[in-house]
Amino acid sequence: QNKLLIPGTCKRKIYGLLEKPSFPAPVPQSSYKLFICGRPGSGKTWARSRLVGQEVCSEVGREEAVAGIEASILYWPMKVGGKMQLFRLELWEAGEWSVRRYDHILPACREGVSGVLLCFSVSDQIGWQELPRL
The CATH number for 118's domain is 3.40.50.300
Q: Domains in the chain: how many in total?
A: 1
Residue 9 lies in a domain: no
pLDDT at 76: 86
Classify residue 122: in a domain, yes or no: yes
Which pTM value belongs to this model? 0.71
Three-state DSSP at 41 gives: coil
DSSP 132: G
Distance CA 76, CA 87 (A): 5
* Residue 57: band (very low, low, confident or very high) from pLDDT cuts 50, 70, 90: low
Distance separating alpha carbons of residues 42 and 134, to the nearest angstrom:
13
Q: Is residue 11 scored above 80 in pLDDT?
A: no
Give residue 33's domain range: 26-133
| Mean pLDDT score across all residues of the chain | 80
DSSP code for 11 = P
Mean pLDDT to the nearest integer, 59-68: 64
The one-letter amino acid at 17? L
The reply to whether 20 falls in a domain is no
Q: Does residue 63 fall inside a structural domain?
A: yes
Residue 19 lies in a domain: no
d(CA 19, CA 5): 13
Does any domain span residue 17? no
Residue 29 pLDDT exceeds 80: yes
Does residue 78 lie in a domain region?
yes
18 lies in a domain?
no
pLDDT-derived band at 20, boundaries 50, 70, 90: low
Give residue 113's pLDDT. Answer: 94
Question: Which one has a higher pLDDT value, 8 or 108?
Answer: 108
Using only C-alpha atoms, the chain has a radius of gyration, in whole angstroms, of 17
